[in-house]
Structure 1
Amino acid sequence: MAAKFSSVEKEKILQDAKLHARQYRRELGLGDEPIADIFDLIERQGIILVRYPSPSDKLSAMIAREANEYLIFINSKMSLGHQIFSAAHELHHYRYDKDNLQVIACNPLSESSDPAELMADFFAGEFLMPEETVRVTWNRFGKIVRILPIHVITMACTFRVSFTAMLYRLLKLKLITGPVFGKLKKLSKPENEELLTKYFNYICTAELIKPTQKELPKAFIEAANYNYANGLVSYKKIESLLNPWDKTPEDIGIEYNYGID
Protein backbone atom coordinates (compact mmCIF):
# COMPACT_ATOMS: atom_id res chain seq x y z
CA MET A 1 0.00 0.00 0.00
CA ALA A 2 1.49 3.35 -0.99
CA ALA A 3 2.28 5.84 1.73
CA LYS A 4 -0.21 8.69 2.14
CA PHE A 5 1.53 11.53 3.92
CA SER A 6 1.01 15.24 3.47
CA SER A 7 4.08 17.25 2.46
CA VAL A 8 4.17 18.73 5.97
CA GLU A 9 4.05 15.28 7.63
CA LYS A 10 6.71 13.94 5.32
CA GLU A 11 9.01 16.90 5.97
CA LYS A 12 8.58 16.45 9.75
CA ILE A 13 9.50 12.77 9.49
CA LEU A 14 12.48 13.64 7.30
CA GLN A 15 13.82 16.23 9.74
CA ASP A 16 13.38 13.89 12.72
CA ALA A 17 15.17 11.11 10.83
CA LYS A 18 18.03 13.46 9.95
CA LEU A 19 18.35 14.42 13.62
CA HIS A 20 18.37 10.75 14.64
CA ALA A 21 21.06 9.88 12.09
CA ARG A 22 23.34 12.70 13.21
CA GLN A 23 22.72 11.91 16.86
CA TYR A 24 23.51 8.22 16.46
CA ARG A 25 26.61 8.95 14.38
CA ARG A 26 27.88 11.15 17.22
CA GLU A 27 27.14 8.46 19.79
CA LEU A 28 29.13 5.93 17.75
CA GLY A 29 31.96 8.35 17.00
CA LEU A 30 31.52 8.02 13.24
CA GLY A 31 31.93 11.65 12.20
CA ASP A 32 30.63 12.33 8.69
CA GLU A 33 32.69 9.81 6.75
CA PRO A 34 31.21 6.88 4.76
CA ILE A 35 30.69 3.73 6.84
CA ALA A 36 33.16 1.04 5.81
CA ASP A 37 31.22 -1.96 7.19
CA ILE A 38 27.66 -1.51 8.47
CA PHE A 39 27.42 -5.21 9.36
CA ASP A 40 30.47 -5.07 11.64
CA LEU A 41 29.05 -1.90 13.19
CA ILE A 42 25.82 -3.71 14.02
CA GLU A 43 27.58 -6.71 15.55
CA ARG A 44 29.71 -4.40 17.70
CA GLN A 45 26.44 -3.20 19.30
CA GLY A 46 25.96 -6.73 20.65
CA ILE A 47 23.24 -7.49 18.10
CA ILE A 48 23.08 -10.96 16.55
CA LEU A 49 23.22 -10.44 12.78
CA VAL A 50 22.04 -13.17 10.41
CA ARG A 51 22.44 -12.76 6.64
CA TYR A 52 20.75 -15.69 4.94
CA PRO A 53 18.61 -16.25 1.82
CA SER A 54 14.89 -15.86 2.52
CA PRO A 55 12.28 -17.91 0.64
CA SER A 56 10.30 -14.66 0.33
CA ASP A 57 11.47 -12.03 -2.14
CA LYS A 58 9.22 -9.53 -0.36
CA LEU A 59 11.19 -9.70 2.90
CA SER A 60 14.32 -7.56 2.87
CA ALA A 61 15.04 -7.63 6.59
CA MET A 62 13.58 -7.98 10.06
CA ILE A 63 14.48 -7.21 13.64
CA ALA A 64 13.38 -9.20 16.68
CA ARG A 65 13.75 -8.77 20.41
CA GLU A 66 13.66 -11.39 23.15
CA ALA A 67 14.12 -9.84 26.60
CA ASN A 68 17.31 -7.80 26.18
CA GLU A 69 18.63 -9.74 23.20
CA TYR A 70 18.28 -8.39 19.64
CA LEU A 71 18.53 -10.15 16.31
CA ILE A 72 18.62 -8.56 12.87
CA PHE A 73 17.94 -10.76 9.85
CA ILE A 74 19.00 -9.60 6.38
CA ASN A 75 17.83 -11.39 3.23
CA SER A 76 21.12 -12.16 1.46
CA LYS A 77 19.31 -12.94 -1.80
CA MET A 78 19.14 -9.17 -2.19
CA SER A 79 22.10 -7.23 -3.60
CA LEU A 80 24.83 -6.25 -1.16
CA GLY A 81 23.92 -2.59 -1.59
CA HIS A 82 20.30 -3.35 -0.73
CA GLN A 83 21.42 -5.37 2.30
CA ILE A 84 23.50 -2.42 3.51
CA PHE A 85 20.53 -0.05 3.25
CA SER A 86 18.29 -2.61 4.99
CA ALA A 87 20.85 -2.97 7.79
CA ALA A 88 20.86 0.79 8.40
CA HIS A 89 17.05 0.77 8.31
CA GLU A 90 16.96 -1.93 11.02
CA LEU A 91 19.55 -0.05 13.06
CA HIS A 92 17.04 2.78 13.40
CA HIS A 93 14.44 0.37 14.79
CA TYR A 94 17.05 -0.96 17.25
CA ARG A 95 18.08 2.48 18.47
CA TYR A 96 14.78 4.37 18.43
CA ASP A 97 11.94 1.82 18.56
CA LYS A 98 13.14 -0.36 21.45
CA ASP A 99 10.15 0.27 23.70
CA ASN A 100 7.65 -1.12 21.19
CA LEU A 101 9.88 -3.66 19.50
CA GLN A 102 9.03 -7.37 19.37
CA VAL A 103 9.28 -8.41 15.73
CA ILE A 104 9.29 -6.01 12.78
CA ALA A 105 9.48 -7.29 9.20
CA CYS A 106 10.70 -4.65 6.75
CA ASN A 107 10.93 -3.94 3.06
CA PRO A 108 12.88 -0.66 2.79
CA LEU A 109 12.06 1.83 0.02
CA SER A 110 8.68 0.16 -0.52
CA GLU A 111 6.55 3.29 0.01
CA SER A 112 5.14 1.97 3.28
CA SER A 113 2.15 3.70 4.86
CA ASP A 114 3.73 3.19 8.30
CA PRO A 115 5.45 6.39 9.52
CA ALA A 116 7.97 4.29 11.49
CA GLU A 117 9.05 2.58 8.27
CA LEU A 118 9.33 5.88 6.40
CA MET A 119 11.35 7.27 9.30
CA ALA A 120 13.71 4.27 9.19
CA ASP A 121 14.15 4.73 5.42
CA PHE A 122 14.96 8.43 5.79
CA PHE A 123 17.33 7.59 8.65
CA ALA A 124 19.15 4.97 6.55
CA GLY A 125 19.68 7.49 3.76
CA GLU A 126 21.13 10.12 6.09
CA PHE A 127 23.08 7.64 8.22
CA LEU A 128 24.80 6.02 5.23
CA MET A 129 25.03 9.16 3.09
CA PRO A 130 25.34 12.28 5.30
CA GLU A 131 24.10 15.31 3.40
CA GLU A 132 27.19 17.50 3.73
CA THR A 133 29.57 14.68 2.84
CA VAL A 134 27.49 13.79 -0.22
CA ARG A 135 27.50 17.42 -1.37
CA VAL A 136 31.25 17.81 -0.88
CA THR A 137 31.95 14.53 -2.70
CA TRP A 138 29.61 15.42 -5.57
CA ASN A 139 31.17 18.87 -5.97
CA ARG A 140 34.52 17.25 -6.68
CA PHE A 141 33.20 16.47 -10.16
CA GLY A 142 33.09 20.20 -10.83
CA LYS A 143 30.43 21.66 -13.11
CA ILE A 144 28.85 18.69 -14.89
CA VAL A 145 27.24 19.39 -18.24
CA ARG A 146 25.98 15.83 -18.67
CA ILE A 147 25.43 13.58 -15.65
CA LEU A 148 26.49 10.07 -16.58
CA PRO A 149 26.13 6.66 -14.90
CA ILE A 150 29.81 6.83 -13.99
CA HIS A 151 29.17 9.82 -11.70
CA VAL A 152 26.46 8.01 -9.73
CA ILE A 153 28.48 4.78 -9.57
CA THR A 154 31.52 6.63 -8.23
CA MET A 155 29.31 8.03 -5.47
CA ALA A 156 27.75 4.61 -4.77
CA CYS A 157 31.20 3.05 -4.45
CA THR A 158 32.33 5.83 -2.09
CA PHE A 159 29.36 5.43 0.24
CA ARG A 160 29.02 1.64 -0.26
CA VAL A 161 25.36 1.73 -1.25
CA SER A 162 23.37 0.48 -4.21
CA PHE A 163 23.06 2.38 -7.47
CA THR A 164 19.35 2.96 -6.76
CA ALA A 165 19.90 4.19 -3.19
CA MET A 166 22.52 6.66 -4.42
CA LEU A 167 20.22 7.90 -7.16
CA TYR A 168 17.39 8.53 -4.67
CA ARG A 169 19.78 10.36 -2.35
CA LEU A 170 21.08 12.61 -5.13
CA LEU A 171 17.50 13.37 -6.20
CA LYS A 172 16.38 14.14 -2.64
CA LEU A 173 19.31 16.54 -2.21
CA LYS A 174 18.44 18.13 -5.59
CA LEU A 175 21.86 17.32 -7.00
CA ILE A 176 20.16 15.68 -9.98
CA THR A 177 16.82 16.48 -11.61
CA GLY A 178 13.77 14.25 -11.95
CA PRO A 179 14.36 13.61 -15.67
CA VAL A 180 18.01 12.63 -15.02
CA PHE A 181 16.87 10.34 -12.21
CA GLY A 182 14.28 8.69 -14.48
CA LYS A 183 16.77 8.14 -17.28
CA LEU A 184 19.53 6.69 -15.06
CA LYS A 185 17.07 4.59 -13.01
CA LYS A 186 16.49 2.46 -16.12
CA LEU A 187 19.99 1.05 -15.63
CA SER A 188 18.79 -0.78 -12.51
CA LYS A 189 16.27 -2.84 -14.49
CA PRO A 190 17.04 -6.59 -14.77
CA GLU A 191 17.60 -6.39 -18.52
CA ASN A 192 20.45 -3.91 -17.92
CA GLU A 193 22.21 -5.93 -15.21
CA GLU A 194 25.15 -6.91 -17.42
CA LEU A 195 25.76 -3.31 -18.48
CA LEU A 196 25.51 -1.97 -14.92
CA THR A 197 27.90 -4.70 -13.72
CA LYS A 198 30.43 -3.65 -16.33
CA TYR A 199 30.16 -0.01 -15.27
CA PHE A 200 30.62 -0.88 -11.58
CA ASN A 201 33.69 -2.97 -12.36
CA TYR A 202 35.24 0.06 -14.05
CA ILE A 203 35.03 2.06 -10.81
CA CYS A 204 35.23 -0.37 -7.88
CA THR A 205 33.51 -3.73 -7.87
CA ALA A 206 30.14 -5.12 -8.90
CA GLU A 207 29.70 -6.78 -5.50
CA LEU A 208 27.40 -3.93 -4.44
CA ILE A 209 24.80 -4.96 -7.02
CA LYS A 210 25.11 -8.72 -6.45
CA PRO A 211 23.57 -10.99 -3.77
CA THR A 212 25.91 -12.49 -1.18
CA GLN A 213 23.97 -15.63 -0.24
CA LYS A 214 24.96 -17.05 3.19
CA GLU A 215 27.03 -15.06 5.69
CA LEU A 216 27.86 -16.81 8.97
CA PRO A 217 27.20 -14.62 12.05
CA LYS A 218 30.35 -13.65 13.95
CA ALA A 219 28.53 -14.34 17.21
CA PHE A 220 28.07 -17.96 16.13
CA ILE A 221 31.74 -18.36 15.20
CA GLU A 222 32.85 -16.96 18.55
CA ALA A 223 30.37 -19.12 20.50
CA ALA A 224 31.28 -22.29 18.57
CA ASN A 225 35.00 -21.80 19.16
CA TYR A 226 34.50 -21.03 22.85
CA ASN A 227 32.22 -23.98 23.51
CA TYR A 228 34.39 -26.45 21.59
CA ALA A 229 37.59 -25.23 23.25
CA ASN A 230 35.98 -25.73 26.67
CA GLY A 231 34.58 -29.17 25.86
CA LEU A 232 30.96 -27.98 26.02
CA VAL A 233 29.98 -29.15 22.55
CA SER A 234 31.18 -31.90 20.22
CA TYR A 235 32.80 -31.57 16.82
CA LYS A 236 29.87 -33.42 15.25
CA LYS A 237 27.36 -31.03 16.82
CA ILE A 238 29.17 -28.01 15.40
CA GLU A 239 29.42 -29.82 12.06
CA SER A 240 25.64 -30.32 11.98
CA LEU A 241 24.97 -26.69 12.96
CA LEU A 242 27.19 -25.48 10.13
CA ASN A 243 25.50 -27.61 7.46
CA PRO A 244 22.86 -24.99 6.55
CA TRP A 245 25.68 -22.50 5.97
CA ASP A 246 27.65 -24.87 3.71
CA LYS A 247 30.61 -24.58 6.10
CA THR A 248 32.79 -27.06 7.97
CA PRO A 249 34.24 -26.64 11.47
CA GLU A 250 37.65 -26.16 9.84
CA ASP A 251 36.27 -23.14 7.97
CA ILE A 252 35.78 -21.37 11.30
CA GLY A 253 39.07 -22.49 12.84
CA ILE A 254 37.99 -25.69 14.61
CA GLU A 255 40.11 -28.80 14.06
CA TYR A 256 38.89 -32.27 15.01
CA ASN A 257 40.29 -33.15 18.46
CA TYR A 258 40.63 -36.88 18.97
CA GLY A 259 41.05 -36.41 22.70
CA ILE A 260 37.58 -34.92 23.06
CA ASP A 261 35.50 -36.45 20.31
Structure 2
Amino acid sequence: MLINNNIISKKAAEFRQDNGLNSSEPVLLKSVLLSNNVLTLFKPLSPSFSGMAIKSGENRFILINSNHSLGKQHFTIAHELYHLFKQPDFRFKSCQTGRFDKSDINEYHADLFAAELLMPEDGLYKHIPDAELAKDKIQLSTIVKLEQYFNSSRSALLYRLKHLKLISSEKHEEFRYDVKRGAVNLGFDTKLYEKGNDGLIIGQYGQLAKELYDKESISESYFMSLMMDIGKDIYSDLTDEPGQ
Protein backbone atom coordinates (compact mmCIF):
# COMPACT_ATOMS: atom_id res chain seq x y z
CA MET A 1 0.00 0.00 0.00
CA LEU A 2 1.36 3.41 -1.00
CA ILE A 3 1.68 6.29 1.44
CA ASN A 4 -0.70 9.11 0.52
CA ASN A 5 -0.89 11.83 3.15
CA ASN A 6 -3.68 13.64 1.34
CA ILE A 7 -5.97 10.62 1.57
CA ILE A 8 -5.38 10.36 5.32
CA SER A 9 -6.07 14.09 5.70
CA LYS A 10 -9.33 13.58 3.86
CA LYS A 11 -10.27 10.64 6.10
CA ALA A 12 -9.60 12.72 9.22
CA ALA A 13 -11.75 15.57 7.86
CA GLU A 14 -14.54 13.12 6.99
CA PHE A 15 -14.43 11.63 10.48
CA ARG A 16 -14.75 15.10 11.99
CA GLN A 17 -17.71 15.87 9.75
CA ASP A 18 -19.37 12.53 10.52
CA ASN A 19 -19.12 13.34 14.21
CA GLY A 20 -20.48 16.87 13.98
CA LEU A 21 -17.13 18.63 14.37
CA ASN A 22 -15.98 21.64 12.38
CA SER A 23 -12.51 22.02 10.89
CA SER A 24 -10.91 23.78 13.85
CA GLU A 25 -12.41 22.74 17.20
CA PRO A 26 -10.83 20.23 19.62
CA VAL A 27 -12.20 16.68 19.72
CA LEU A 28 -14.08 15.56 22.83
CA LEU A 29 -12.89 11.97 22.63
CA LYS A 30 -15.13 10.59 25.37
CA SER A 31 -18.20 11.87 23.52
CA VAL A 32 -16.92 10.43 20.23
CA LEU A 33 -16.32 7.02 21.82
CA LEU A 34 -19.77 6.99 23.40
CA SER A 35 -21.62 8.15 20.28
CA ASN A 36 -19.84 5.52 18.17
CA ASN A 37 -20.40 2.73 20.72
CA VAL A 38 -16.70 2.03 21.19
CA LEU A 39 -16.16 0.18 24.46
CA THR A 40 -12.93 1.61 25.91
CA LEU A 41 -10.95 0.37 28.91
CA PHE A 42 -7.96 2.02 30.58
CA LYS A 43 -5.45 -0.26 32.32
CA PRO A 44 -1.81 0.12 33.49
CA LEU A 45 0.36 -1.67 30.93
CA SER A 46 4.03 -1.90 29.97
CA PRO A 47 5.64 1.31 28.61
CA SER A 48 6.02 -0.05 25.06
CA PHE A 49 2.31 -0.94 24.78
CA SER A 50 0.21 2.11 23.89
CA GLY A 51 -3.09 0.47 23.13
CA MET A 52 -5.09 -2.11 21.25
CA ALA A 53 -8.16 -2.13 19.03
CA ILE A 54 -10.50 -4.97 18.14
CA LYS A 55 -13.35 -4.96 15.62
CA SER A 56 -15.82 -7.82 15.31
CA GLY A 57 -18.87 -7.12 13.19
CA GLU A 58 -20.46 -4.01 14.66
CA ASN A 59 -18.62 -4.41 17.99
CA ARG A 60 -15.59 -2.18 18.60
CA PHE A 61 -13.20 -2.26 21.54
CA ILE A 62 -10.17 -0.16 22.59
CA LEU A 63 -7.67 -0.79 25.40
CA ILE A 64 -5.52 2.17 26.49
CA ASN A 65 -2.38 2.23 28.66
CA SER A 66 -3.23 4.35 31.71
CA ASN A 67 0.46 4.51 32.65
CA HIS A 68 0.99 6.93 29.76
CA SER A 69 0.32 10.65 30.07
CA LEU A 70 -3.20 11.85 29.31
CA GLY A 71 -1.92 13.61 26.19
CA LYS A 72 -0.38 10.37 24.95
CA GLN A 73 -3.58 8.48 25.77
CA HIS A 74 -5.62 10.94 23.70
CA PHE A 75 -3.32 10.39 20.74
CA THR A 76 -3.58 6.62 21.13
CA ILE A 77 -7.38 6.78 21.17
CA ALA A 78 -7.38 8.79 17.94
CA HIS A 79 -4.87 6.33 16.44
CA GLU A 80 -7.15 3.40 17.31
CA LEU A 81 -10.16 5.20 15.83
CA TYR A 82 -8.41 5.05 12.47
CA HIS A 83 -8.08 1.27 12.75
CA LEU A 84 -11.70 0.85 13.79
CA PHE A 85 -13.39 3.23 11.34
CA LYS A 86 -11.07 4.01 8.43
CA GLN A 87 -8.67 1.09 7.87
CA PRO A 88 -10.11 -1.41 5.35
CA ASP A 89 -10.61 -4.99 6.54
CA PHE A 90 -9.41 -4.26 10.06
CA ARG A 91 -9.89 -6.85 12.83
CA PHE A 92 -7.22 -6.60 15.55
CA LYS A 93 -4.02 -4.69 16.31
CA SER A 94 -1.87 -3.97 19.36
CA CYS A 95 -0.05 -0.67 18.90
CA GLN A 96 2.93 1.44 19.87
CA THR A 97 1.66 4.83 18.79
CA GLY A 98 3.33 8.11 17.87
CA ARG A 99 6.31 6.59 16.06
CA PHE A 100 5.24 7.73 12.55
CA ASP A 101 7.13 4.72 11.22
CA LYS A 102 6.65 4.42 7.46
CA SER A 103 7.88 0.82 7.46
CA ASP A 104 4.47 -0.20 8.89
CA ILE A 105 2.05 1.54 6.56
CA ASN A 106 -1.13 0.99 8.59
CA GLU A 107 0.51 2.20 11.79
CA TYR A 108 1.92 5.24 9.98
CA HIS A 109 -1.50 6.03 8.54
CA ALA A 110 -3.08 5.65 12.00
CA ASP A 111 -0.49 8.02 13.53
CA LEU A 112 -0.99 10.56 10.77
CA PHE A 113 -4.77 10.30 11.09
CA ALA A 114 -4.53 10.85 14.85
CA ALA A 115 -2.38 13.96 14.42
CA GLU A 116 -4.72 15.40 11.78
CA LEU A 117 -7.85 14.53 13.74
CA LEU A 118 -6.66 15.98 17.06
CA MET A 119 -4.87 19.02 15.64
CA PRO A 120 -6.57 20.18 12.42
CA GLU A 121 -4.63 22.63 10.31
CA ASP A 122 -7.33 25.31 10.49
CA GLY A 123 -7.43 25.05 14.26
CA LEU A 124 -3.67 25.33 14.65
CA TYR A 125 -3.40 28.39 12.41
CA LYS A 126 -6.34 30.00 14.21
CA HIS A 127 -4.50 29.90 17.53
CA ILE A 128 -1.00 30.83 16.36
CA PRO A 129 -0.29 34.59 16.35
CA ASP A 130 0.42 36.08 12.92
CA ALA A 131 3.93 37.02 13.96
CA GLU A 132 4.69 33.35 14.66
CA LEU A 133 3.30 31.94 11.41
CA ALA A 134 6.74 31.51 9.85
CA LYS A 135 9.32 28.79 10.23
CA ASP A 136 10.88 28.65 13.70
CA LYS A 137 9.07 31.78 14.91
CA ILE A 138 6.62 29.98 17.18
CA GLN A 139 7.14 30.54 20.90
CA LEU A 140 6.99 28.06 23.77
CA SER A 141 3.98 29.85 25.26
CA THR A 142 2.07 29.24 22.02
CA ILE A 143 3.11 25.60 21.90
CA VAL A 144 1.88 25.00 25.45
CA LYS A 145 -1.37 26.81 24.69
CA LEU A 146 -1.90 24.65 21.59
CA GLU A 147 -1.29 21.33 23.34
CA GLN A 148 -3.55 22.36 26.20
CA TYR A 149 -6.32 23.48 23.85
CA PHE A 150 -6.20 20.34 21.70
CA ASN A 151 -5.37 18.01 24.63
CA SER A 152 -2.36 16.74 22.75
CA SER A 153 0.99 15.31 23.75
CA ARG A 154 4.02 17.51 23.05
CA SER A 155 5.57 14.94 20.72
CA ALA A 156 2.44 14.73 18.55
CA LEU A 157 2.11 18.53 18.39
CA LEU A 158 5.75 18.95 17.40
CA TYR A 159 5.36 16.38 14.65
CA ARG A 160 2.32 18.26 13.37
CA LEU A 161 4.12 21.63 13.43
CA LYS A 162 7.10 20.15 11.63
CA HIS A 163 4.81 18.53 9.07
CA LEU A 164 3.27 21.98 8.44
CA LYS A 165 6.79 23.42 8.08
CA LEU A 166 6.36 25.74 11.06
CA ILE A 167 9.39 24.33 12.90
CA SER A 168 12.70 22.84 11.82
CA SER A 169 14.29 19.63 13.08
CA GLU A 170 16.45 21.75 15.40
CA LYS A 171 13.44 23.48 16.97
CA HIS A 172 11.67 20.13 17.18
CA GLU A 173 14.50 18.84 19.37
CA GLU A 174 14.64 22.02 21.44
CA PHE A 175 10.95 21.90 22.37
CA ARG A 176 10.96 18.18 23.21
CA TYR A 177 12.48 18.61 26.66
CA ASP A 178 11.33 20.00 30.03
CA VAL A 179 7.73 19.81 28.88
CA LYS A 180 6.08 19.78 32.31
CA ARG A 181 8.42 22.42 33.74
CA GLY A 182 7.73 24.73 30.83
CA ALA A 183 3.99 24.44 31.38
CA VAL A 184 4.37 25.15 35.10
CA ASN A 185 6.53 28.22 34.44
CA LEU A 186 3.82 29.56 32.16
CA GLY A 187 1.08 28.96 34.71
CA PHE A 188 -0.62 26.03 32.97
CA ASP A 189 -2.09 22.95 34.64
CA THR A 190 0.14 19.86 34.33
CA LYS A 191 -2.53 17.14 34.35
CA LEU A 192 -2.16 16.64 30.60
CA TYR A 193 1.45 15.50 31.08
CA GLU A 194 0.68 13.00 33.86
CA LYS A 195 -0.69 9.46 33.81
CA GLY A 196 -4.29 8.81 34.80
CA ASN A 197 -7.63 7.14 33.99
CA ASP A 198 -6.61 3.86 35.64
CA GLY A 199 -9.70 1.63 35.69
CA LEU A 200 -11.84 4.04 33.68
CA ILE A 201 -14.40 2.46 31.37
CA ILE A 202 -16.16 4.33 28.58
CA GLY A 203 -19.15 2.47 27.18
CA GLN A 204 -21.62 -0.18 28.20
CA TYR A 205 -19.27 -2.81 29.61
CA GLY A 206 -21.67 -3.93 32.32
CA GLN A 207 -24.64 -4.02 29.98
CA LEU A 208 -22.78 -6.13 27.43
CA ALA A 209 -21.64 -8.57 30.11
CA LYS A 210 -25.22 -8.85 31.42
CA GLU A 211 -26.57 -9.48 27.90
CA LEU A 212 -24.06 -12.31 27.42
CA TYR A 213 -25.09 -13.81 30.77
CA ASP A 214 -28.82 -13.49 30.01
CA LYS A 215 -28.27 -15.25 26.68
CA GLU A 216 -26.39 -17.99 28.57
CA SER A 217 -23.30 -17.24 26.47
CA ILE A 218 -21.24 -17.02 29.67
CA SER A 219 -21.61 -18.67 33.06
CA GLU A 220 -22.72 -16.87 36.21
CA SER A 221 -19.22 -17.18 37.70
CA TYR A 222 -17.64 -15.66 34.57
CA PHE A 223 -20.21 -12.85 34.62
CA MET A 224 -19.31 -12.14 38.25
CA SER A 225 -15.61 -12.18 37.32
CA LEU A 226 -16.16 -9.68 34.50
CA MET A 227 -18.03 -7.34 36.81
CA MET A 228 -15.36 -7.64 39.50
CA ASP A 229 -12.83 -6.51 36.89
CA ILE A 230 -14.56 -3.13 36.86
CA GLY A 231 -14.99 -2.99 40.61
CA LYS A 232 -18.59 -4.21 40.76
CA ASP A 233 -19.39 -6.87 43.37
CA ILE A 234 -22.85 -8.02 42.28
CA TYR A 235 -23.60 -10.00 45.45
CA SER A 236 -22.60 -7.04 47.63
CA ASP A 237 -24.71 -4.64 45.57
CA LEU A 238 -27.75 -6.91 45.92
CA THR A 239 -27.51 -6.84 49.72
CA ASP A 240 -27.38 -3.04 50.03
CA GLU A 241 -30.07 -1.41 52.13
CA PRO A 242 -33.06 0.02 50.20
CA GLY A 243 -32.49 3.56 49.08
CA GLN A 244 -28.72 3.38 49.50
Long gaps (5+) in structure 1: 228-235
Percent of aligned positions with the same letter in both sequences? Answer: 23
- After superposing the two structures, state which structure 1 stretch, 136-145 or 110-119, moved more: 136-145
Paired residue type of 1:153: V
Count the aligned residue pairs: 232
Q: Which residue of 1 aligns with 2:184?
A: 198
1:103 lines up with 2:118 in the alignment: no
**RMSD value, Cα:** 3.4
Task: Please give the secondary structure, in 2, of the residue aligned with 1:186.
Answer: coil
Deviation at 1:240, TM superposition (A): 5.9
- Counterparts in 2 of 1:65-144, with a 5 A limit? 65-99=55-89, 101-112=90-101, 113-139=103-129
**TM-score, with structure 1 as normaliser:** 0.75
CA distance in 2, matches of 1:43, 1:141: 39
Structure 1 residues 110 and 22 mapped into 2: Cα distance closer, same or farther (>3 Å)?
same
In structure 2, the residue corresponding to 1:156 is in which secondary structure? helix
User: Does the 8 Å contact 1:170/1:176 carry over to 2?
Assistant: yes
Change (3 A) 1:238 1:175: same
What is the alpha-carbon distance in structure 2 between the residues aligned to residue 162 and residue 65 of structure 1?
26
Larger helix fraction of residues: 1
The aligned residue for residue 217 of structure 2 is none
* Alignment match of 2:9 (pick from 18, 38, 41): 18
Q: 1:258 to 1:241 in 2, by over 3 A?
A: farther
Do the aligned partners of residues 237 and 92 (structure 1) sit closer, same or farther apart at CA in structure 2, a change above 3 Å counting?
Answer: closer
- Indicate the larger mover: 141-150 or 179-188: 141-150
Please report how far the alpha carbon of residue 197 of structure 1 lies from its aligned counterpart in structure 2 after TM superposition.
5.5
Instruction: State the partner residue of 1:231.
Output: none
Decide which of 157, 162, 166 is 1:171's aligned counterpart.
Answer: 162
- 2:218 corresponds in structure 1 to none
TM-score in terms of structure 2 length: 0.80
Matches within 5 A, 1:23-62: 23-54=14-45, 56-62=46-52
Within a 5 Å distance, the mapping from 1:231-242 to structure 2 comes to 241=226
Give, as a single letter, the amino acid of the residue that structure 2 aligns with 1:208: L
Unaligned runs of 5+ in 2: 213-220
